[in-house]
Amino acid sequence: MTGLLEQVFNGLQLGFVYALIALGYTMVYGIIRLINFAHGDIFMVGAFVGVLGYTAWGLPFPVAVAVSMIVCAVAGVTIERLAYRPLRYAPRIAALISAIGVSIFLEYFCSLKFVFGPNYRVVTRPFEVTTFTVGGANVTNIQVVVAVVVLALLAGLQYMLYRTRIGKAMRAVSQDHDAARLMGINVDSVISATFGIGSALAAAGGVLYAVAYPQIWPFLGIMPGLKAFTAAVLGGIGSVPGAVLGAIIMGQVDVLSAAYISSQFRDAIGFSILIIVLLVRPTGLLGSRQREKV
C-alpha cells in the first residue's frame, strides 16, 4: 500500500510538471487555435538553460529558474513572430506544419556540438536530496519543491488571468479576435504575451523536470510534450483548469502504468489515451462544445 502511495506521489510530481507544459498548449490553442508543436522543445530549452544557470553560470537556483523562464519567453515570442504570425490567415494546417518544422529545428539545432550536443547529460542537482515519510510513504524534498513552485505559478497565472487587464484581454481574444480588436485590444500583443507566458511556464517545468529526473538531452521534450498535449486535450483544450486536471491524470497514468504494467509500453498507453479521448470526447472533460458555422 505504501508502494502505491509513493507511486501516486511520483505521479503527482510528474503531473505538476506536465501541468506547466499543458498550460502553454491550452492557452495558445485557446487564442489562435494552433497546436504549438514546438512547445515541448521550449520545455527542453528551459531545462538546459536552467541547468546551465545553476551549474556553469553559478546562479542560485531560483535565479536560474527565472533566467530560464525569461529566455524561453523571448524564444516563444520570437518563434510566434517569425514562424506563426505570417500564417495566421493561412489554412490551419500550414501553421501546424510550420510548428512541426520549428520543433524539429529546435531539437536538431540544440543537438549541434557547439550548442548542447546530441548526447544525454547527467545533471547535478542544485541541492541535496532528502527523504521523509508521509503516511508511511517516502517523499523527497524535490517533490515538495516541484509542488510548491508549480502551485505558486498556477496561483500567479490565475491572478493574472482574472485580476489584471492583460489577463482579461487574453480571455477576450480567445473568444473573438475581431470583437477584441474593436474593443481596442492589440490582438498581436496579446498573442505574443500568451506565447511568452506559456513558454515561461514550460521553461520552469523544464528546470523542475531536470532536477527531478536528472538526465537531459535535446530530444527531452518530445514525450513530455506529447503527453502534456494529451493532458490539455483530455482536460478540454482551451481550458486552463482543464489543462491542470488533465495533467494530474496523465501524470498518474504515466507513472502507474510504468510501475504496474510495463515501462516499455508507457508511451503507447499514453497515446492510446489520446486517441480514445479524441474519438470519444474531443472537447475533453471540462471543455465546451464548438460548432462549425455553416
Partner 1 sequence: MADKPRGKGFFAPGGRLLLPAVLVAFYVLARVLVAAGLLNGYWQLILDQSLIVATASLGLSLIYGFCGQFSLGHAAFYGLGAYTAGLISKLWGHGDPLWFVGSLLAGAVVAGLVAVVIGLPILRLRSDYLGIATLGFGIIVKVLMDNSGKLIPETGGATGMTGVPMVANLTWVFIVAVAAIFLVRNLVFSRFGRSWVAIREDEVAADAMGINTTRAKTLAFVLGCALAGLAGALYAHRYPFIHPSSFDFLKSIDFLIIVVLGGLGSFSGTVATAVAWVFLLEGLRAVLGVAFVDYRGVVYALILVAVIILRPRGLLGGKEWSALLPRLGRRDGREEAKPHG
Partner 2 sequence: MAEPLLQIKGLTKFFGGLRAVSDFHLDLGQGELVGLIGPNGAGKTTVFNLITGMLPLTSGEVRFRGESIVGLPPHRVFGKGIARTFQNIRLFKEATVEDNVKVVLDARAGYSLPAAAIRTPAVLRSEVALREEAQQLLGILGLGGRTDTAAKNLPYGAQRRLEMARALAGKPSLLLLDEPAAGMNPAEVRELVSLIRDVKEKFGLSILLIEHQMGVVMNLCPRIVVMDFGEIIGEGTPAEVQGNPKVLEAYLGRGGVA
Q: Smallest gap, in angstroms, from Cβ of residue 111 to partner 1?
A: 7
Q: CA-CA distance, 217 to 115, in Å (whole number)?
A: 11
Per-residue x/- mask for partner 2, residues 11 to 50, rule CB under 8 A? Answer: ----------------------------------------
| Shortest spacing between CB 293 and partner 2, in angstroms | 9
Under the binding rule (CB under 8 A), the answer on residue 102 touching partner 1 is yes
289 binds, among partner 1, partner 2, none (CB under 5 to 8 A by kind): partner 2
CA 210 to chain centre: 14
- Name which position in 61, 63, 118, 188 contacts partner 1 (CB under 8 A): 118
93, 178, 184, 289: which one binds partner 1 (CB under 8 A): 93
Using the minimum distance from each CB to partner 2, give the nearer residue, 151 or 179. 179
> In which element (H, E) is residue 121 found?
strand 121-122
- With binding defined as CB under 8 A, does residue 91 bind partner 2? no
Kindly state the smallest distance separating residue 288's Cβ from partner 2, in Å. Answer: 9
Max CA separation in the chain (angstroms) = 60
Secondary structure element (H or E) that encloses residue 12, with its range: helix 2-32
User: Cβ(147)–Cβ(208) under 8 Å?
Assistant: no
Does position 41 bind partner 1 by CB under 8 A? no
CA–CA distance, 177 with 175 (Å, rounded to integer): 7
Q: Which stretch binds partner 1 (CB under 8 A): 112-120, 146-154, 189-197, 238-246?
A: 112-120
Instruction: Report which of 37, 2, 9 is spatially closest to residue 228, judged by C-alpha positions.
Output: 37
Q: Does the footprint of partner 2 cover residue 291 (CB under 8 A)?
A: yes
61 binds partner 1, rule: CB under 8 A: no
Q: Which stretch binds partner 1 (CB under 8 A): 43-51, 124-132, 182-190, 263-271?
A: 263-271
Contact 129, 140 (CB under 8 A): yes
Which grid cell sits at 16?
Answer: 505538476
Cβ proximity of 118 and 218 under 8 Å: yes
**Residue span binding partner 2 (CB under 8 A) among the ranges 83-91, 193-201, 241-249, 286-294:** 286-294
The C-alpha cell that represents 3 in the structure block: 508502494
- Considering only 113, 163, 165, 289, the residue that binds partner 2 (CB under 8 A) is 289
Task: Give CA–CA dist 241/253, Å, rounded.
Answer: 18
Instruction: Name which of 116, 127, 120 is nearest 54 in CA terms.
Output: 127
* 91 counts as binding partner 1 under rule CB under 8 A: yes
> In whole angstroms, how far apart are CA 58 and each of 69, 71, 206?
17, 17, 18
Cβ proximity to partner 2: between 58 and 91 the closer is 91
Q: Can you tell me which of 35, 77, 172, 243 binds partner 1, judged by CB under 8 A?
A: 35
Angle at 209 between CA 203 and CA 212, to 5 degrees: 150
When CB distances are held under 5 to 8 angstroms depending on the partner's kind, the choice from partner 2, partner 1, none that residue 239 binds is none
Q: Is the dihedral of CA 126, 130, 134, 137 positive or negative?
A: positive
DSSP SS3 for 287:
coil
- Contact residues toward partner 2 (CB under 8 A) are 289, 291, 294
- Contact residues toward partner 1 (CB under 8 A) are 35, 83, 86-87, 90-94, 96-98, 100-105, 107-109, 111-113, 118, 226, 229, 233, 264-265, 267-268, 271-272, 274-275, 278-279, 282, 292, 294
